[in-house]
Homo-oligomer: A and B are copies of this chain.
Amino acid sequence: MARIAPMSGFPEYLPAGRMVEQRVTDVLREVFELHGFASVQTRAVESLEMLNRKGEITKEVYVVRRIHATETDTDSLGLHFDLTVPFARYVLENAGHLQFPFRRYQLQPAWRGERPQEGRYREFWQADIDIVGQGELAPHHDTEVVLVMLEALERLHIELGIPEVLLHANNRKLAQGFYEGLGVTDPLAAIQAVDKLDKVGPAVVGELLGEQGVEPGAVERILALAAIRTADDSFIGEVRALGVMNELVETGLAELAALVGALNTRFPGRAVADLKIARGLDYYTGSVFEIEMPDLPSLGTVSAGGRYDALASDGRNSYPGVGISFGVTRVLAPLLTKGALLASRPVPSCVLVAVDTEETRVAASEVAAALRARGIPCEVSPSAAAYGKQIKLAARRGIPYVWFGGAQGSVKDIRSGEQIAATASLWMPPEDDLKPTIVKTPHEKSDRA
């Protein structure tokens, strides 16, 4: 017998936790579909060549091969580490069958061979939405994908008690134009240095920029730009005051102002312009966003995305897109492991139908069928033990009602002890009891120090 133990970095939930995850993904799916995003699922594996395109991250890929692979097997496969690379491949592979702008959502696990540590997952679910054009894609779609994700996250907050979010937005054009205006020779390298600001602080970022050959005066203004953070469009004046203007900076300012303005109209207080946001990945070309949960700063970035003008391209067409990804496991695994969110019961069943004798089990099954026909989840008692034992079994499994007798029988709420006469084809439980609900258990609201 193999050793039975949890595997670090591969979270699994008990049924009451899994029900929370199901509700979360149900809400995400509903919101995405209401906005016209179609579901896409891609295979778990990509060729290693495809996974290698992004460079840096390759070191964390899980390679997959047949256990009895032979010399002649040329497959070189890896598990996908995000949903963006597979989606770009899917768009290229199926471009002739898709209608653009193409809108898809994708809810799947991804895998990374991370070293096990708190908050790092080797298997994690993501929920991605993207809008991709053929040849061109209007800038208003940047605002659109963020609004859709914020709407979904706002519903998770209101309906399920998932913490509130705050979105930080920036625009790559702004930083790139600004750096170019300062005479920085490798703006992308500078963006990647600034991306480390939260981790290492401004002094170290300044040193990194210096090592890249950026002049001290320019370093100062790059750090000043990165320090700008405003809840409205006053960032525009602050950027202008730094005295580095050009066409790219103007375009970036206009796009960012449009984004932040639209977000604040629809979700006041949920978005800020934050000019240090860089996103390390090199495929972003315009808007970039990061979402955090201010009451749970330890989670870090729970959702992120941006505009990419050249992620996917075949010989004839480019496919510019904009997308945002929500880290389902990143948010849920800590909340579910702590028991901060739970289903009101660990079973779908609302009713346990008691069995008098094994000979009359069929009659109990008919009661159950009548209840199910009206959408009431139920199960028939596994044994014809004394009623007291069957009630105890229901209590143990978390089932709130026990049905006695036939179709014209009685039903007992085992929490209150109240028992009433009932007809299987008519009785309905209170709406809150019909299906498990999500319960926010008392716990520290915040993990802020």
Residues of B with C-beta under 8 A to A37: 348
- Tell me whether A442 is interfacial, beta carbon within 8 Å: no
Scan residues 127-173 of chain A and give those whose CB is less than 8 A from a CB of chain B.
133, 137-138, 140-141, 144
The closest CB in chain B to the CB of A79 belongs to: B64
A356 to B19, CA, bound (A): 44
- A39–B18 touching, CB < 8 Å: yes
A232 to B190, CA, bound (A): 77
Scan residues 29-86 of chain A and give those whose CB is less than 8 A from a CB of chain B.
33-45, 47-50, 52-53, 58-69, 78-79
- A44–B89 touching, CB < 8 Å: no
Residues of B with C-beta under 8 A to A52: 2
- A397–B99 touching, CB < 8 Å: yes
Contact residues of A: prevailing secondary structure: mixed
Q: How many Å from the CB of A380 to the closest CB on chain B?
A: 8
Residues of B with C-beta under 8 A to A47: 2-3, 7
Q: With A2-B50, A34-B372 as given contacts, are A40 and B59 in contact (CB-CB < 8 Å)?
A: no
- Tell me whether A268 is interfacial, beta carbon within 8 Å: no
Residues of B with C-beta under 8 A to A38: 15, 18-19, 346-348
- Tell me whether A213 is interfacial, beta carbon within 8 Å: no
Give the oligomeric copy count: 2
A211 to B99, CA, bound (A): 61
Interface footprint category on A: 35 or more
Segment at the interface with B among A101-109, A174-182, A249-257, A403-411: A101-109
Segment at the interface with B among A90-98, A193-201, A236-244: A90-98
A364 to B18, CA, bound (A): 38
A397 to B98, CA, bound (A): 8
- Tell me whether A415 is interfacial, beta carbon within 8 Å: no
- Tell me whether A215 is interfacial, beta carbon within 8 Å: no
Scan residues 1-35 of chain A and give those whose CB is less than 8 A from a CB of chain B.
1-7, 10-15, 18-19, 21-22, 33-35
Residues of B with C-beta under 8 A to A92: 4
Q: A18-B40, A99-B346, A262-B362 known; 10 other A-B pairs, CB under 8 Å?
A: A12-B90, A13-B41, A14-B97, A14-B98, A18-B41, A34-B375, A44-B109, A44-B111, A68-B113, A103-B347
A positions within 8 Å CB-CB of B: 1-7, 10-15, 18-19, 21-22, 33-45, 47-50, 52-53, 58-69, 78-79, 89-90, 92-94, 97-99, 101, 103-104, 109, 111, 113, 123, 133, 137-138, 140-141, 144, 262, 313-314, 346-349, 358, 361-362, 372, 375-380, 382-383, 396-399
